[in-house]
Amino acid sequence: RRSPPSLRSYAVLLANIAFIDLVASIASLLTITRVIPVGEMIALIYNGPCVIISGFFCNFLIIVDAVVLTQTHFLIAVSFAYRLYVLVRPKFPSRRHIIHMCLIIALFW
């Protein structure tokens, strides 16, 4: 709320990155996975609290963690693109455009 007008749309991007990182941290904390190579495959051994619920829940959290980490990388790239855009153009993108960009990344990645 107290961001300068030039950075308000960037604040939306930062808040989205923070939320995505929080979800990734919680998923990683709940799984605490140990990866063991077995020939040409890998075996995942779950040591976290997710084993109390079920193995399916642990697998679901691993998928959530992988998807969220991918989104984090794309959002960091968008963050760099935003800063480059701001350097080249005098007009800042609106909050709505940034929110739409974050939703598109969330839906397609």
Radius of gyration of the chain (CA): 18
Q: What is the pLDDT of residue 100?
A: 82
* pTM, to two decimals: 0.76
- Given a cut of 70, whether residue 106 has pLDDT beyond it is yes
User: What's the number of CA atoms in the CB half-sphere (13 Å) around residue 97?
Assistant: 9
* Span 11-67, pLDDT tens digits: 888 888 899 999 999 999 999 989 999 999 999 899 999 999 998 999 999 999 999
